[in-house]
Amino acid sequence: MKLNGTSLNTPLNGTDTIQHGYGQNGHSTAQLIDEIGDAHGAASIDTPMRPDAFDLDDATKIDLIEAHFREIMGILGLDLTDDSLNGSPRRVAKMYVQEIFKGLNPANKPEPTLFDNKFRYNEMLVEKDITVQTYCEHHFVPIIGRAHVAYISSGKVIGLSKLNRIVDYFSKRPQVQERLTVQIADELKKVLETEDVAVIIDAKHLCVSTRGVHDVNSSTITASYGGKFAEESTRQELLRYVSQASVTI
C-alpha cells in the first residue's frame, strides 16, 4: 500500500534505525523506546506531522485505517467473522479520524469569537474545571482530567465556551500533557493578543493506571504562566480561585 510513495508497511520518519540499532549505555533501542514512553517527555511544541498529512481525505483515511486495524486484530488471533468483532475495525477507524484525533486537522480548529472589552473588566478571568480528554501519544490510551485557563484582557474578550473548545481541539490529538498545556497557552496568547495567559492541567494517564506501574491514584499537573501570571501575587490569586470549591447549581 502506498501513501505518496511511502509504504505504510514501513516505519515512518526513519524510526526503523532506532528500532533495530543499539543506544548508549548498552540499552537496546526497543528498551529506549519503552523508556521514552514511560518518561512521557515532549520533544516539540508542535505536534510532529508529516508534510503530506492532509493529502488524503477523511473517507480515504477511514478506509485505510479500517484495513490496517482489521490486520492488527487478525494478528492478535481474533476471529473477524464474529458478529461482535466484525464492525470494530471500521468503528475504530471512524473514531480515530472523526472523533478522538480530529484535532490533528487545522480545518477543525475553532474560530474564536472576540468582543471588545466594553465592561472595562481588567481583572483576571478564570475558566476552571474544563474537561480534558486526550490520548497519550506513546501508548494511545486516554489521559483524562481538568484544565483551568485564565487570562487578563488586553482589550479583547473571548466567548467563554471558546476557551473550552480550544482546550478540546488541542486535546483531540495523540498528545503529551506538557505539549498540550503549551499549545493551549500559545493559541490563547495569539488569539487574545496578550502574554497574560495561564493554563493548568491536572490529569490521570491511563497508561500509568491501567498498565506499567498500575498506579490508579497518581495524577499529573502541568502549568504555563505567561506575562503577569509569572508574578507571584497574580499566580497566587489564580491558584486560590482554582482551589476553591466550584459552585453547584
What are the residue numbers of the active site?
136-139, 177, 205, 207
Site map (CB under 5 A) of Zn ion, residues 203-232, x = contact = ----x-------------------------
C-alpha cell at 164: 473550552
Stretch that binds Zn ion, among 8-16, 95-103, 137-145, 241-249 (CB under 5 A): 137-145
Which of residues 138 and 148 has its CB atom nearest to Zn ion in the complex?
Answer: 138
Which of residues 34 and 127 has its CB atom nearest to Zn ion in the complex?
Answer: 34
- Total number of residues binding Zn ion (CB under 5 A)? 4
Stretch that binds Zn ion, among 23-31, 103-111, 149-157, 201-209 (CB under 5 A): 201-209
Which of residues 199 and 207 has its CB atom nearest to Zn ion in the complex?
Answer: 207
Q: In sequence order, which residues have a C-beta less than 8 Å from that of residue 204 and are 6 or more positions away?
A: 143, 144, 145, 218, 219, 220
Residue 20 labelled as part of a binding site: no
Smallest separation, CB 128 to Zn ion (Å): 26
Burial of 201 by CB count in 10 Å (0-12 exposed, 13-18 middle, 19+ buried)?
A: buried
C-alpha cell at 116: 471588545
- Of 148, 144, 159, 147, nearest to 206 by C-alpha is 144
Q: Which residue is nearest to Zn ion (CB)?
A: 207
Burial of 39 by CB count in 10 Å (0-12 exposed, 13-18 middle, 19+ buried)?
A: exposed
139 touches Zn ion by CB under 5 A: yes
Which of residues 124 and 176 has its CB atom nearest to Zn ion in the complex?
Answer: 176
136 touches Zn ion by CB under 5 A: yes
Smallest separation, CB 201 to Zn ion (Å): 15
78: region left, alpha or beta (phi > 0 left; psi from -120 to 50 alpha) = beta
Q: How far apart are CA 27 and CA 182, in angstroms?
A: 31
Question: How does 9-21 read in b/e, with b if 16+ C-beta sit within 10 Å?
Answer: eeeeeeeeeeeee
Feature table: binding site for Zn(2+): 136, 139, 207
Q: Site residues (CB under 5 A) for Zn ion?
A: 136, 138-139, 207
